[in-house]
Amino acid sequence: MFFIGIFGIQNKNEQIGTESAVICPVCERYGRFEIVKSYYYFHIFFIPVWRWNKRYYIQTHCCKRICELDQETGSKIEAGHSIVIEKEHIHRSEQPTISVCPSCSTQVDPSFHYCPYCGSQINS
């Protein structure tokens, strides 16, 4: 967060949906995932005035991956449309950009072997 006096810039992540009892579009196992919207915003007196750099992600629980979702697909889901997320809708890398702790579900750097928040071992 960048803060000067009465205004500032901050990053925000909002969960806009959850899919349960589905086939994961990343690893093709039975599981669930959350759909997350991330953006930056400028605020005055902690009231958001202007937003930019909006991106959508899915966070899977079966394979502990965070993958970027198409902008168009994410916008439709946010608007309330019922869309089945397929492999074509996500952009994934071979290496996870963020790992998720299996104990406390905190996002951590993939190079960590232990969670800095709860101390549990992270299986890569």
Residues 30-48 pLDDT 10s = 999 999 999 999 988 888 9
Query: What does the pLDDT read at residue 102?
Result: 78
Please state the φ and ψ torsions of residue 77, each to the nearest 5 degrees: -65, -40
Its pTM stands at 0.70
Which element (helix H / strand E) includes 77? helix 71-78
23, pLDDT greater than 60: yes
Please state the φ and ψ torsions of residue 66, each to the nearest 5 degrees: -120, 120
111, pLDDT greater than 90: no
Query: What does the pLDDT read at residue 5?
Result: 63
Arithmetic mean of pLDDT over the chain = 85
13, pLDDT greater than 70: yes
pLDDT digits (tens, 9 = 90+) for 77-106: 999 998 899 889 998 755 555 677 878 877
* Domain assignments of the chain as residue spans, ordered by start: 2-92, 93-124
Please state the φ and ψ torsions of residue 76, each to the nearest 5 degrees: -65, -40
